[in-house]
Amino acid sequence: MEFFTKKMKLPDADNALPGRSKEMSVPERHFVNGNLMKPPFPEDFEQAIFGMGCFWGAERHFWEQEGVYITAAGYAGGITPNPTYEEVCSGLTGHNEVVLVVFDPTVVTFEVLLALFWESHDPTQGMRQGNDVGTQYRSGIYTFSPEQSARAEASMAIFQNNLRKGGYEAITTEIYCAPEFYYAEHYHQQYLAKVPNGYCGLGGTGVCYKREAAKS
């Protein structure tokens, strides 16, 4: 019961694991499209970070979207620097499993990515996503500009209204400025491209976002 409690409650600085200064080693290039996995990214491209449950399935949703340059599985929103997967699963880092998305805004808008985010998981479940239970599975949007923040908040209002019509509870998604992103281990990167029948763990609500309601 104590372990379960830890997984459902975010740790404070006194209880978080110490982590390490060494960064995680990841492949130089994206397994699906061959683009560079780490900065510098092409000029004028934008970034966003999304948490929506297990990052294996979440990452695939975004790399399949036209206009996305790279995706990367990682950890963000917690305390522990450069955490390992096992540490994140312990619930003692405060981190969320997330996906970094680098995209060309002339090809795909942030609103389209937001629609994909909302429709691809259930954002009303708090510290879980389906059968995956724990603080690392919480719903989150981590933004890189005030404009992104405003659009994310507006999109949440739109989707909350649509969810209510479908009989769903209040959205629990956290939205704030992007914290430091820590790359996950190499074997997590583009996992479902390497293991096509691997575990996904994501399921949407069946409620549509209605992209036309969001103005760029």
Q: Are strands 68-76 and 96-103 parallel, antiparallel or unpaired?
A: antiparallel
CA distance 127 to 113: 22
Q: Is there a catalytic annotation at residue 54?
A: yes
User: How far is the CA of 192 from the CAs of 26, 52, 61, 102, in angstroms?
Assistant: 16, 16, 10, 19
| Catalytic hit among 54, 89, 177, 208 | 54
Q: Which of 108, 110, 112, 88 is closest to 183 using CA atoms?
A: 88
- Which amino acid, 166? G
The catalytic residue positions are 54
